[in-house]
């Protein structure tokens, strides 16, 4: 059970939470690890914090790079890692002290898996204040059906996973595209599962996921643009039914258009609306939206869509999902 684990932490101006995150690794009951702190062009005191820890513990290594996003930072960490497995940890998240130990037990018991993840406790200021619960998701030894599950709704937090390095090198590392930022971890998981890689999920909440104002999870338009790009990667995948694809497209683009409006990015709305019209040309919503976007300005067209067209369309779509997807 003596697996060597490389832990990769991408950092960009993470001074407020970084000490606590590093300490959560140092406190692990499983001790056969290295910690790679990848500074992605920080301009705050992150470097000082990292060097302070690396000088005290020779398992901790600091790397600096020009800013390029979390994916490029993680890839640099993977490239320089020495472990058979790599564990991902964002610079604002925390681990239960037995997180690595229980994952090493799992990968030892199931040598065919290449993905091991844990359940997540999301919190804001205190671990006692849980924000949501994922207990109803799938855990244990998981088969190919996990691909469809994750395609529909990704409940695997990136900071909870450990991944077999050999598999990553075979199928490709994180996608570093600027437009995919915030969704690159989900895209990588889908690629691994599409490649028939096996996974094991631990139902215990061993990751503590911090929700705060600076988190990328609050950059809503960016997150939904990333989702559209991930769905395009698997657009021709025949194991996913056409109706299920349409269901995900419809939800994603509806949310995206509204978040673009909220963020004052009205000049992008028509381009993304045109994308969903091409993907879903014969739906009730598409046929009506094409008309109102020609007649009204963007703001008025969105109001009519949200308050009239989407409400009718949702009822029609829900009937089809129940009839053909059993949902």
Q: Tell me the pLDDT tens digit for each residue of 196-208.
A: 999 999 999 999 9
Phi first, then psi: give them for residue 242, nearest 5 degrees: -60, -40
Residue linked to tokens 């681990």: 95
Q: For residue 20, what pLDDT is reported?
A: 97
For the record, the structure tokens of 68 come out as 């390029």
Q: Which CATH superfamily is domain 5-216 in?
A: Spore Coat Polysaccharide Biosynthesis Protein SpsA; Chain A (3.90.550.10)
pLDDT tens-digit map of 263-276: 999 999 999 999 99
Q: Contact at 8 Å (CB) between 33 and 5?
A: yes
Q: Report whether pLDDT(40) > 80.
A: yes
Distance in angstroms (rounded) separating the CA atoms of residues 255 and 218: 13
**DSSP calls for 200-243:** EEEEEEEEEEEP-TT-GGG-HHHHHHHHHHHHHHTTT-TTS-HH
**Domain ranges within the chain, ordered by starting residue:** 5-216, 241-324
Q: Report whether pLDDT(289) > 90.
A: yes
Distance between start and end Cα atoms, the chain: 42
Prediction pTM value: 0.92
Q: For residue 77, what pLDDT is reported?
A: 98
């Amino acid at each position: 059970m003596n697996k060597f684990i490389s832990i990769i932490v991408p950092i960009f101006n993470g001074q407020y939470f970084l000490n606590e995150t590093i300490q959560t690794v140092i406190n692990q009951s499983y001790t056969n690890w290295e910690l790679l702190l990848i500074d992605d062009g920080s301009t705050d005191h992150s470097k000082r914090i990292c060097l302070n820890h690396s000088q005290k513990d020779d398992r901790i290594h600091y790397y600096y790079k020009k800013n390029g996003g979390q994916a490029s930072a993680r890839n640099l960490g993977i490239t320089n890692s020495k472990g058979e497995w790599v564990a991902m940890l964002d610079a604002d998240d925390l681990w239960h002290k037995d997180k690595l130990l229980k994952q090493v037990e799992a990968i030892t018991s199931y040598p065919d898996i290449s993905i091991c993840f844990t359940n997540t406790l999301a919190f804001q200021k205190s671990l006692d204040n849980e924000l949501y619960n994922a207990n109803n998701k799938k855990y244990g030894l998981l088969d190919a059906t996990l691909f469809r599950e994750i395609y529909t709704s990704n409940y695997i937090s990136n900071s909870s996973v450990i991944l077999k390095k050999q598999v990553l090198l075979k199928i490709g590392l994180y996608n570093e595209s600027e437009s995919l930022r915030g969704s690159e971890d989900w895209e990588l998981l889908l690629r691994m599962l599409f490649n028939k890689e096996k996974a094991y999920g631990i139902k215990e909440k061993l990751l503590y996921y911090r929700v705060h104002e600076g988190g990328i999870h609050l950059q809503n338009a960016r997150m939904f643009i990333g989702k559209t790009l991930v769905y395009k990667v698997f657009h021709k995948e025949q194991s996913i039914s056409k109706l299920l694809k349409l269901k995900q497209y419809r939800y994603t683009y509806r949310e995206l258009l509204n978040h673009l409006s909220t963020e004052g990015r009205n000049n992008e709305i028509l381009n993304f609306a045109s994308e969903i019209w091409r993907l879903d040309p014969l739906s009730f919503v598409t046929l009506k939206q094409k008309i109102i976007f020609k007649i009204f300005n963007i703001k008025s067209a969105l109001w009519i869509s949200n308050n009239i067209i989407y409400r009718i369309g949702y009822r029609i779509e829900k009937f089809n999902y129940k009839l053909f997807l059993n949902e």
